Amino acid sequence: MPRWEPSAEDRLREAALALFLERGYENVTVTDITDHAGLTRRTFSRYFADKRDVLFAGSERLPQVISQAVRDADPALGPAEALLAGLAGTAAILAKHVPRSPERRRVVAGSTELRERELGKFAAVTDALTETLRARGATEVGARLLAEVGVAVFRAAFARWTEEPDGADFPVYITEAAAELIGALGPIADQRK
């Protein structure tokens, strides 16, 4: 069996994560990362704008990817069902583009700057989802609340998915997180008008 050769991009990401965890995100430079990976700064620039970008590259596509998946859900589904189907439907893209590693989560959790960036990223997802759910028939306030719930479910599912690299596929975690939420809502969920 041929040995798997990580790409330059993967080597840079792994080097960055290892250094961020070892020394703290604030104390690592781009030169530290390229030295550790045995690659040049020019190669780094081909993939990433700066060291923060190693953690967030591609995330500007997240609002579009998630809301498109909700738009693509079966037109017969109501807004909430389309939301869950759409979140599960991002699985293929996640599996292809997102490293299933718990290290990134730990790095982000350890820095106020990175946590705020992460919050901003998901706020953009909430905005995009609100639009999409409005278009699928939710009320204005309902669409925003549902979008917030969707992002919360996505993040809970994503956290477990990355923490369990040998675990189930992403849609299973979406279903579990949604069930956990409905269970937690308890009797409140029955108070429908």
User: Interface with a copy of itself by CB under 8 A: which residues?
Assistant: 78-81, 84, 112, 115-116, 119-120, 123, 133, 138-139, 141-146, 148-149, 151-153, 156, 160, 177-193
Could you tell me the two tokens for 20?
């961020």
Residue 151 CB, shortest distance to a copy of itself, in Å, is 8
Q: How far is CA 192 from the centre of its chain?
A: 31
Residue 18 CB, shortest distance to a copy of itself, in Å, is 27
Give one DSSP letter per residue of 135-175, joined into a string. HTT--HHHHHHHHHHHHHHHHHHHHHHHH-TTS--HHHHHH
Residue that has been written with the tokens 């589904």 in this structure = 77
Residue 161 CB, shortest distance to a copy of itself, in Å, is 13
**Helix (H) and strand (E) counts for the chain?**
11, 0
Whether the CB-CB separation of 157 and 163 falls below 8 Å is answered with no
Whether the CB-CB separation of 171 and 146 falls below 8 Å is answered with no
Residue 108 CB, shortest distance to a copy of itself, in Å, is 12
Whether the CB-CB separation of 14 and 37 falls below 8 Å is answered with yes
Write the burial class of residue 77 (CB in 10 Å: 0-12 exposed, 13-18 middle, 19+ buried): middle
Residue 117 CB, shortest distance to a copy of itself, in Å, is 8
